[in-house]
């Protein structure tokens, strides 16, 4: 019998959520995603510190921001030598509420990739799913820069992304699960909130059904998983980005991973949601989980970006 990972590949594009090259070589994902936290973790390891050292040495006169972008692209280029598909590279989270600055930073990243001989079709620019980030993605998509809208926790965010014609969205399953579990406290019953009933799984399922019902081409990539059960419950999703730890568990477990999400099995009575700014902000504000997790996610990525800045500056010394 094949492994659950091989079975999952029959229904879903498998993406590695890591900056670890060796894990990618072993697990053979189609695409790979990175973020400031993953890159920060990687450059503190002996195996990957030379990338930081080389970047700082070859561009001593560059600003810290430029060095960060060059480091991200260095990782991205190395990843693309391993995976056959695309790599996602994230715009600095400190720009999450600045549309113009996000556009300029994304253009810079794409220019660095293209100067290195990497076609833009193999790169997804990751941007936080704030209103400002989504509008930046709208402009970038019109220029042929494909975007991955991350830190997405709600259907209104997904609808606004679709209206902006973004290439791909990354709804965060595990962080939604975390919020509901913490909110429930002592009343939480794990068995009652597992599999298809997991609140993070339910959120992605609603987005999937909405997109398929209205024929929206934006790709859906479930992200931020806490356990294998969440992954198997979303088999059939367009893509799933998975940590090396959970990919290894799937690869080492025999079994099937039948499709749970199917485009031909979508409710017929789904109501359309507005994609204008007032509707977006109102519905996001009404959703305590989505509002809190979006803000928290940005703060966490900013904190790791600041730490990465410090490592870059230390390398100059």
For the purposes of burial, counting CB atoms within 10 Å of the CB of 213, is it exposed (0-12), middle (13-18) or buried (19 or more)?
A: middle
Residues 158 and 89: their CA atoms lie apart, in Å, by 20
**Using an 8 Å Cβ cutoff, are 103 and 134 in contact?**
no
Residues 267 and 270: their CA atoms lie apart, in Å, by 7
Q: Which of 54, 126, 212, 307 is catalytic?
A: 126
- Would you state the structure tokens that stand for residue 97, as one six-digit string? 């509420």
Residues 208 and 196: their CA atoms lie apart, in Å, by 13
* Residue 110: closest CA among 87, 132, 128, 138: 87
- Between 64-80 and 49-58, two packed helices, what is the crossing angle to 10 degrees? 130
Is-catalytic flag, 126? yes
**Using an 8 Å Cβ cutoff, are 129 and 161 in contact?**
yes
What are φ and ψ of residue 201, in 5° steps?
Answer: -65, -45
Residues 120 and 108: their CA atoms lie apart, in Å, by 12
Residues 154 and 148: their CA atoms lie apart, in Å, by 15
* Residue 152: closest CA among 130, 167, 132, 136: 130
H-helix or E-strand spanning residue 268: none
> Please, what sign has the CA dihedral across residues 16, 22, 27, 31?
positive
First CA to last CA distance, the chain: 55
Tell me which residues are annotated as active site.
Answer: 126
């Amino acid at each position: 019998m094949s492994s659950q990972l091989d079975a999952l590949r029959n229904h879903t594009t498998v993406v590695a959520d890591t900056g670890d090259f060796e894990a990618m070589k072993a697990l053979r994902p189609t695409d790979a995603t990175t973020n400031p936290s993953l890159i920060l973790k990687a450059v503190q390891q002996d195996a990957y510190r030379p990338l930081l050292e080389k970047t700082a040495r070859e561009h001593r006169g560059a600003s810290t921001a430029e060095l960060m972008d060059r480091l991200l692209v260095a990782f991205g280029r190395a990843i693309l030598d391993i995976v056959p598909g695309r790599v996602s590279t994230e715009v600095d989270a400190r720009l999450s509420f600045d549309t113009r600055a996000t556009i300029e930073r994304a253009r810079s990243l794409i220019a660095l990739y293209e100067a290195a001989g990497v076609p833009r079709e193999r790169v997804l620019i990751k941007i936080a799913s704030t209103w400002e980030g989504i509008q930046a993605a709208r402009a970038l998509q019109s220029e042929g820069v494909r975007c991955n809208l991350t830190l997405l926790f709600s259907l209104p965010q997904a609808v606004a992304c679709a209206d902006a014609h973004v290439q791909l969205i990354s709804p965060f399953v595990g962080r939604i699960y975390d919020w509901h579990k913490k909110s429930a406290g002592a009343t939480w019953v794990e068995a009652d909130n597992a599999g298809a009933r997991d609140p993070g799984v339910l959120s992605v399922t609603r987005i999937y059904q909405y997109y398929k019902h209205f024929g929206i081409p934006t790709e859906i990539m479930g992200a931020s998983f806490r356990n294998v059960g969440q992954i198997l419950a979303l088999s059939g999703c367009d893509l799933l980005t998975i940590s090396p730890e959970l990919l290894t568990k799937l690869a080492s477990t025999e079994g099937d991973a039948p499709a749970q999400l199917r485009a031909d099995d979508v409710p017929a009575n789904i109501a359309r949601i507005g994609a204008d700014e007032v509707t977006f902000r109102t519905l996001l504000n009404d959703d305590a989980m989505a509002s809190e997790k979006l803000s928290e996610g940005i703060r966490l990525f900013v904190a790791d970006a600041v730490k990465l800045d410090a490592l870059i500056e230390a390398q100059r010394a």
